[in-house]
Amino acid sequence: MRDGVNGKAANPSELTAETREAFQNNLLDWYRENRRELPWRQREDDPYAVWVSEVMLQQTQVKTVIPYYERWMSRFPTLKDLAEAPLEEVLRLWAGLGYYARARNLHRAAQQVAAEYNGVVPTDPEQLGRLPGIGRYTLGAVLSIAFQQKAAIVDANVMRVLSRVFGIEGDPKANPANARIWALAESLIPDGRARDFNQALMELGALVCAPSDPNCEDCPLLNVCVAGNSLDPTVLPQIPAGKRTVHVTHVSTIIRLDRRVLIIQRPPHGLWGGLWEFPRRVCEPRETPEECARRAAREAAGMQVRIVGPVGTVKHAVTHHAITLLGYEAQLISEQGGKHTPAVRWVTLEEMGTLPLSAPQAVLRETYLRCLERENAGGRQYPLPL
Ligand code: SF4
């Protein structure tokens, strides 16, 4: 395989004007014809809308994001609405999207913009970049899409397209390849077209230059693409073998008292920070799930319980962790002992459904609801199939 356009290393300063122009024109023409009508594209000049959509789209597929974005925008149509909302409501609208630090940072950043910039999103890269949760990617997205500034956006799609077009070898997430990709992404932006150009590059990666099955025949960049003209375009980018998946078992205890269950709120930081859940612990080696369920009740909520039976199993993946969550119903024996969080509530399952829950806890709650429905119908069965 050649190692760059015209057989040279893909150094932005060495791109010929002809290559640059062909890349820009072909891509923009293609985008005009093929761009998807997505809800956030109706508000491209609104930095708040761009910001929210780009944060939601990190690590999450477009089709998953659409209903979340629409619900969010109907509840928080402006940055001021978001800044004034309680964090609990923000987390509830985010529940199921994962990576909750994104929602907490958006909320804090909106409050900061409201307080320090009179509610107007700053156009200055330094001011914008200092806001919570604004990394290089989000900064580039807001500056280029909302404000038409020449700032690059490099996501997994852009990394793949540029690695292939310019024949960039090495891990695209590590230097020197990563630095070259960012430099290329910035140097290719045509004057006054940052909004369309950056979105076109991401759209091409999503729709045409697929990871394992790129559609080179229909690609507008084929005439300038190193990988597209090689025997196997999928050789690039050179992604190192991923981290081994770690399997872990969590156990949650559903402590029931009449029509209510006990839930606790997690501390504000870390995975699932600020969300509500049934008392939960990671199952230790050599510990049975029932032992872990009793320990979860004791350590997380300060309750001694008797286990009634298993409720169901929920599978969930977070980064390189494959989590199996086992739910157990339990009866309260006494309230004593153990270190536990002060954020404990007794709620009905309906009330629990209105609080922000992590995705696996939301599934466990629904599973338990179905279990109780069967109980009311006189035919209880454990465990329930999911
Ligand atoms: S020609 Fe093929 S490899 Fe190159 S950018 Fe297009 S789809 Fe990707």
For residue 176, say if its preceding peptide bond is cis, omega within 30 degrees of 0: yes
Task: Identify the CA nearest to 327 among candidates 373, 295, 298, 290.
Answer: 290
> Would you state the pLDDT for residue 335?
85
Residue 264 is encoded by which pair of tokens? 């606790």
Residues 6+ away with beta carbon under 8 Å from 211? 160, 234
Find the 159 Cα to ligand 1 centroid distance in Å: 12
* Distance separating alpha carbons of residues 264 and 267, to the nearest angstrom: 10
* Coil vs helix vs strand at 204: helix
216 CA: nearest ligand 1 atom: 2
Q: Is 203 a catalytic residue?
A: no
Residue 152: what residue type?
A: A
Output the ligand 1 site: residues, CB below 6 A: 161, 164-165, 208-209, 214-216, 219, 221-222, 225, 227-228, 233
Find the 226 Cα to ligand 1 centroid distance in Å: 8
Phi, psi of 64 (to 5 degrees): -75, -40
233 CA: nearest ligand 1 atom: 3
CA distances from 86 to 80, 99, 356 (A): 12, 19, 12
* Distance separating alpha carbons of residues 337 and 339, to the nearest angstrom: 7
229 CA: nearest ligand 1 atom: 1
* pLDDT per position as a tens digit, 123-158: 999 999 999 999 999 999 999 999 999 999 999 999
Q: What is the mean pLDDT of the chain?
A: 89
The DSSP secondary-structure symbol of 190 reads P
Q: Could you tell me the domains of the chain?
A: 5-235 (1.10.340.30), 246-376 (3.90.79.10)
Find the 144 Cα to ligand 1 centroid distance in Å: 24
Give the closest residue (by CA) to ligand 1 atom 3. Answer: 228
* pLDDT per position as a tens digit, 294-311: 999 998 888 999 999 999
- Give the least confident one: 10-24, 45-59, 65-79, 355-369: 10-24
> Would you state the pLDDT for residue 243?
56
* Distance separating alpha carbons of residues 312 and 365, to the nearest angstrom: 10
* pLDDT per position as a tens digit, 307-344: 999 999 999 987 667 899 999 999 999 887 545 556 88
Find the 59 Cα to ligand 1 centroid distance in Å: 22
> Would you state the pLDDT for residue 9?
45
Of 54, 186, 277, 329, which is the active-site residue? 54
205 CA: nearest ligand 1 atom: 8
* pLDDT per position as a tens digit, 54-87: 999 988 889 999 999 999 999 999 999 999 999 9
pTM over 0.85: no
Give the closest residue (by CA) to ligand 1 atom 4. Answer: 228
* pLDDT per position as a tens digit, 239-281: 887 656 778 899 999 999 988 999 999 877 767 878 899 999 9
Task: Identify the CA nearest to 72 among candidates 106, 41, 45.
Answer: 106
CA distances from 34 to 26, 104, 201, 218 (A): 12, 34, 12, 12
Find the 58 Cα to ligand 1 centroid distance in Å: 23
**pLDDT tier at 7, thresholds 50, 70, 90:** very low
Give the closest residue (by CA) to ligand 1 atom 2. Answer: 216
Give the closest residue (by CA) to ligand 1 atom 8. Answer: 209
Q: What is the mean pLDDT of residues 100-127?
A: 96
**pLDDT tier at 380, thresholds 50, 70, 90:** low
Find the 13 Cα to ligand 1 centroid distance in Å: 22
Probe ligand 1: pick from 184, 201, 222, 235, max atoms within 8 Å of CB?
Answer: 222
Checking if the pLDDT of 382 tops 80, the result is no
